[in-house]
Chains A and B, each alone.
Chain A
Amino acid sequence: MTDTTARRARHRRKRSVFPLVNAVAMILLMFVTLYPVINTVAISFNDGTDAVRGGIGLWPRQFSIKSYETIFSDEIIFNAFFITVSRTAIQTILNVVLTSMLAYALSRREYVLRKFITTVFVLTMYVNAGLIPNYLLLQRTLGLGKSFWVYIIPTMLSCFNMIITRTYILGLPDALVESARIDGAGDFYLFWKIIFPLCLPVLATVALFVAVGAWNSWFDTHLYNASKVHLHTLQYLLKMKLATTTNSANAALTSADAAASTTNTTPITIRSAITVVSAAPIVVIYPFLQRYFVVGLNVGSVKG
């Protein structure tokens, strides 16, 4: 196949301008994708008072790391970082273990409750009670508001992730399970010792999806923990900055804002610096997981 593609490419190169046009279009696309991101990084490394003038492109005009010094010495931001890391770690571990365990059980064809439980799970993708009933359940019935657990308890399982994991397990040879079962292994042993290690590629995808979702969420903080400063997450702090800089309200949300008036930083450079810090972990990690999530997504699409 590579031979024919090479031949085709050679054949084409002589009389077609398409590859060139295509390459230029792709480079333009990459520029459009990256420009806003690099621009934000450039602003975050710029001097605060100078940045207000605007017009910073891909490189800082007056280099300064003041904004970073300010946010790294801010206790509220530091605490938010800690909360974000904790919720992401706990949520990811719980999701990976519970999702794979359930996916294993629902992949066993002999299991009597298989059909019923699978249907109940798939239906959740279409049946959604809506925002307010969910809020009333968590806030009033379960009393999870104003606690760290509102980040963890409602988010332990996702149907979509369960389905891609189950499809992956169904693609593994049945003989693995059957032979171990004849040797007298129970399902917990089978799952943990045989299936779980084999699922690591798809579970890397699940972990990435869950971790990104957890890291990027702010709405649960907004809804349930807005009054609890020690439970604020990074994205929520950033959301608050967004609100202050757009509505140009004067309220100092964190001590960084108060410091901004005395040092050479302004909300726009601070906001950019928090953006960079809060996006960096994911942006650094995802290229290494690319081959996993590409496979994971396609396994999921084989059978909805």
Chain B
Amino acid sequence: MRSAYATDVTVTKNTLHIKPVSFWKRLWLQRQLALMSVPMLLYIFLFNYSPLWGWITAFMDYNPATPLFENEWVGMKNFIWLFGKPEFIRAIRNTFAMAAINLVFGFVFPILLALFLNEIRTIHFKRTVQTVTYLPHFLSWVIVVGIAQTIFSSDGAVNQLLLSLGLVKNPVFFLGEGKYFWWLVGVINLWKECGWNTIIYLAAMAAIDPALYEAAQMDGAGRFKKMFHITLPGIKSTFVVLLVMNIGYLMEAGFEIQYLMGQNVVMDWSQTIDIFALKYGITKGQYSRAIAAGIFKSLVSIALMLSANFAAKRLGEDTLL
């Protein structure tokens, strides 16, 4: 019998023969499935895994013009150079600071917004708010940065508002002073993604058993008690999965916004590890140093992800791994 399963089943002379089929025979029987997936596997090896080979050049004094193994091995020299460079230390600080701001903003505000949206009973109004708040997610970073530069300029809408409310006496140079940069990135990110990030929480809230709310109602719980004791615990597992995932991406503070908005005057506050790597690698041609910076970032990411995953497991939550 032609079978793509683990065993061949044949019946002869009233006896049932079940014999395991070898891996290669099964693969041959499943050749159509293999044809659908193995080319993509090779593709992924080429574009996602083969660049890892480039990591060895971080331990060399690499020059693309000379054949790979004729470059001089220098051990950890590039890493030592990196950590002796204040610019790189600042890039680490900036990456972490902006990532942390994004992480906190990215959880607190979408959850709050989802809680409030969940209380809206007029379905059309709710859907309108959702559609409108999803909009900035679809705009490119180039557009968002362009808009932000208009809004936050010295004669832009934010300064006009602050001046008319009497909160400031002179326009604030949001774009030209380093100390505002991290928070500007945080606020712009929030504007862009807050609505979008509610989608998952709203779905988790919709899955909560309505009987729980009724029971709480009977016991005299008000709106905020119900939010606190039913809705929030109801989205806890979603929250933990997203938290673990996002801690794994903590080193991804974003790249485009800092690159597009970071003018020279705010460089000390805007430059992230990625931009540092781009600058040294592609503009200055110091590939080995740039790749070393990239390796540092990847390793920290993986360590963060594994420890967040471990912590979540200890707390008894479902995790990704």
Using CB atoms and an 8 Å cutoff, list the residues of chain A in contact with chain B. Answer: 1, 4-6, 8-9, 12, 16, 18-19, 22-23, 25-26, 29-30, 32-37, 39-40, 43, 54-55, 57, 98, 101-102, 104-106, 108, 110-113, 117, 120-121, 124, 126-137, 140, 154, 156-157, 186-188, 191, 212, 215-219, 223, 235, 238-239, 241-242, 246-247, 271, 275, 278-279, 282-283, 286-287, 290, 293-294, 297-298, 301, 304
Contact = CB atoms under 8 A, between A and B. Distances in A.
A111 B30 contact: yes
B32 A188 contact: yes
Contacts of B50: 137
Contact of B256 (A4, A30, A128, A219): A219
Contacts of B121: 5-6, 9, 19
A110 B30 contact: yes
Indicate the member of B26, B36, B132, B298 with the most A CB atoms within 10 Å: B36
Contacts of A35: 157
B143 interface: yes
B30 to A, nearest CB: 6
A26 B129 contact: yes
Given A105-B33, A188-B35, A242-B145, 9 more contacts: A5-B210, A8-B213, A29-B113, A40-B146, A110-B5, A126-B301, A132-B294, A133-B55, A241-B146
Contacts, number: 255
Contact of A1 (B30, B210, B281, B298): B210
Contacts of A157: 40, 43-44
Interface residues of B, number: 96
Q: Which of A18, A128, A154 gathers most chain B CB within 10 Å?
A: A128
Interface stretch (B90-98, B100-108, B148-156): B148-156
B55 A113 contact: no
Contact of B200 (A134, A278, A298): A298
Contacts of A279: 138-140, 143
A286 B119 CA distance: 25
B32 A136 contact: no
Contacts of A216: 139-142
Interface string B122-166: 000100111111111011111101111111000111001000000
Contacts of A40: 146-147, 150
Nearest to A8: B217
Contacts of A135: 281-282
Nearest to B175: A246
A150 B155 CA distance: 41
Contacts of A286: 134-135, 138
25 contacts: A18-B119, A22-B119, A26-B120, A29-B129, A39-B147, A39-B151, A43-B150, A57-B157, A105-B37, A111-B37, A112-B26, A120-B44, A124-B44, A129-B55, A130-B51, A131-B290, A133-B51, A137-B47, A157-B43, A218-B140, A239-B142, A247-B263, A283-B138, A290-B130, A301-B241
